Structure 1
Amino acid sequence: MAQYFEVHPENPQQRLLKQAVALLERGEVVAVPTDSSYALACHLDDKDAVDRLRRIRQVDDKHHLTLLCRDLSELANYAKVDNKQYRLLKAATPGPYTFLLEATKEVPRRVSHPQRKTIGLRVPDHAVLSELLALHGAPLLATTLIPPGETQPLNDAQEIRSRFEKLIGAVIDAGACASEPTTVVDLTPVGEGGDPVVVRLGRGPVSVLGL
């Protein structure tokens, strides 16, 4: 049975978020609000939790999971970023964008793409999630909360609770999120002199990136 934490969207109660962090550190998968839609998140270094995350979404190891980072300096610890890539990242973060980049050795091999060795990274612009990441003290591994067989992400915490309460450890309810996923941009070609590739057009406008 999933625990349910109802928090203020701008000034979340730290005692509740600390309880959510404790669940993440015990290997639970938690539904968290973001600046696009709700997402499922877990501890990066917990193999069982990562496997459960994939089972809930019914995606395989070729589906890019995303590291939720507090800021660009943290992101740079987990991705290889050159100057041009950094300028693009700086223009669009924090915000509803996911960037595909080459993973560093800080990223466990089992969570990066098996052939490309890439990982999704993003710096969300959401007060509750930012505070959760600060209390956790490290990035969280996440995926957009799109139910198996469906195409649209969930943005209502009560619905998430009723549909996933036996599969996840907790739901953090900060009110309705947007119901559109992030814009996904592959920045790996930029490192080879190419241009960014828009993989999925979502909530973030690509004009910010000059595309």
Structure 2
Amino acid sequence: MLLKLYPDNPNHREFRQIVDILKNGGIIIYPTDTVYAIGCDINNTKAVQRIAKLKGTTADKGNFSLICNNLSTLSEYAKVDNTTFKMMKKNLPGAFTFILQASSNVPKLFKSKKKTVGIRVPNHFIPLRIVEELGNPILTTSIHDPDEVVEYTTDPELINEKYNKQVDLIIDGGYGNNTASTIVDCSTDSFEIIRPGIGELIL
């Protein structure tokens, strides 16, 4: 199913529909401030496994991140010191994935011994509103395009053609970007950019 959402006229009923799908174990494709992504409710184990299978991996081995709508729940999923927190606050919402030391909740979510977790607070109303309505973060992973020239799929109509039988909902929020988020590893004593992307880090 393809659902069109526009920034100037977001409908509360449509967001409730999205959240109902997530709560029932559905997986969705949605726009972010960078590329389109696949997501599900982090508390639904079967949905997490479905996304892992779609990406050709398993929940314990996949590189998934969590999308939060702000930093207020950060301590539930990650261990973060004051310096890192202040730096993240300067850069979020924004096109960053911050790799942090995982809290004890993360291994339970992924049925693994994961010691780190990626955190995203994208500068895009759709994922932020979904998380707000859902009441907890969503698991997220970017859509890769098999075409080597175009690393990420940007056209929601084409995404729908490819994925409509594999996911429960595709949200059309207009054309997406072709460049992913900047990944910053904060799991050690220093901040290291391990993948340059759209975001320009403010220290």
Structure 1 residues 50-199: aligned runs within 5 Å: 50-60=48-58, 61-109=60-108, 111=110, 114=113, 117-147=115-145, 152-190=151-189, 195-199=190-194
3-state SS in 1 of match to 2:73: helix
What is the count of residue pairs matched by the alignment?
201
Residues 54-79 of structure 1 show CA distances to partners (whole Å, capped at 9, x for unaligned) of 11122343332110001011223211
Distance 1:167 1:58 in 2: 13
Structure 1 residues 12-31: aligned runs within 5 Å: 12-31=10-29
Structure 1 unpaired stretches of 5+ = none
In structure 2, relative to structure 1, the CA distance for the partners of 1:205 and 1:84 (3 Å cut) is same
Kept in 2: contact 1:31–1:170 (CA 8 A): yes
What is the TM-score of this pair, normalised by structure 1? 0.88
From 28, 42, 45, give the equivalent of 1:44. 42
* Shift in Å, 1:10: 4.0
Distance 1:46 1:68 in 2: 15
In structure 2, relative to structure 1, the CA distance for the partners of 1:51 and 1:205 (3 Å cut) is same
Distance 2:177 2:7 in 1: 13
In structure 2, relative to structure 1, the CA distance for the partners of 1:125 and 1:154 (3 Å cut) is same
Q: Once superposed, what is the RMSD of the aligned Cα atoms?
A: 1.9
3-state SS in 2 of match to 1:73: coil
In structure 2, relative to structure 1, the CA distance for the partners of 1:148 and 1:112 (3 Å cut) is farther
Structure 2 unpaired stretches of 5+ = none
* Shift in Å, 1:30: 0.1
Distance 1:31 1:86 in 2: 29
What is the TM-score of this pair, normalised by structure 2? 0.91
From 6, 13, 20, give the equivalent of 2:4. 6
Distance 1:49 1:39 in 2: 15
